[in-house]
Structure 1
Amino acid sequence: MVLEILLSGGYGVGEGNQVYSIRQLVDSVNGLRIEIFSREHAPPHFHVSKGNTNATFSITDGHHLNGEIGSREKALVQWWFARSQAKLLRIWNETRPSGCQVGPIHISGA
């Protein structure tokens, strides 16, 4: 029962039976959910979702990588990113499980 709750609630089990969060909510801006997924592929990125919006953005420079997002929402994400990159990097680095393809990242000045 506990395992079912964990797996259906956004958690996974990794090496050595380590429980980790699959998704980490970083922030919410005007209804846009900004999340980081634990076991990610390169390049380091974050996810933005709301209704029909489902897009990814680079953690290193904030540019839109792919997915559907309106120009107004994209501008809002880029505004948020300019003010929140340090928070985004901190949460990214804190949520890397062992064996993640993309480990911690460090950007000077962020």
Structure 2
Amino acid sequence: MNVPWKHEFNDKCVCSLERCLDRGPIKQLAEEGDGKHELRFIRKALFAKLNGLKIYIYSGEHPPPHFHVIYNGEENSFSILDASPLYPDGQLFEYFKNIKKWHKINKEALVNAWNESRPSDCPVGRIIC
């Protein structure tokens, strides 16, 4: 049935709302506060999940830009720029080289996921390579 007042939005428009929703619910719009910053409930974006392995990028992060790896109940964070561990004495130590090798192949996807998940008030901002 063709409804004359129904408008189908294009993919670009729909994707922009999806990105906004994926960043987490907005608690306060900028115009409701200081006019510059919106407040969001921070939620994590699942970049990849395979069996017991999970890779996360959080939307409201602290510097440096990084991703989280959880494997067999252990977790550590790694720089998106060079895969160096944020906690060198932390968990997943025996897998650091595995993660570095994986990073070399997937760095572009990590950068894209990071950039797409940045809220407007993110203290770190986008990565430019």
Regarding TM over 0.5, the answer is yes
Higher normalized strand content (fraction of residues) = 1
- 1: CA distance between counterparts of 2:49 and 2:128? 24
Q: 1:99 is matched with which residue?
A: 121
User: If you compute each CA radius of gyration, which structure gives the higher value, 1 or 2?
Assistant: 2
> Which deviations, in whole Å up to 9, do the C-alpha atoms of 1:21-42 show, x marking residues without a partner?
7111112356321110010001
Q: 1:42 is matched with which residue?
A: 63
The alpha-carbon deviation at position 70 of structure 1 amounts to: 3.6
Which amino acid in the other structure matches residue 31 of structure 1? G
- Equivalent residue in structure 2 for 1:64, among 58, 64, 85: 85
Q: TM-score when scaled to structure 2?
A: 0.64
Contact 1:40 1:101 survives alignment (8 Å): yes
Q: TM-score when scaled to structure 1?
A: 0.74
Q: 1:83 is matched with which residue?
A: 105
The alpha-carbon deviation at position 74 of structure 1 amounts to: 2.1
Contact 2:75 2:92 survives alignment (8 Å): yes
Point out the more displaced range, 89-98 or 23-32: 23-32
- 1: CA distance between counterparts of 2:39 and 2:49? 28
Contact 1:25 1:35 survives alignment (8 Å): yes
- Kindly tell me the number of residue pairs found equivalent between the two proteins: 97
Structure 1 segments of 4+ aligned residues over 4 angstroms from their partners: 17-21
- 2: CA distance between counterparts of 1:82 and 1:57? 12
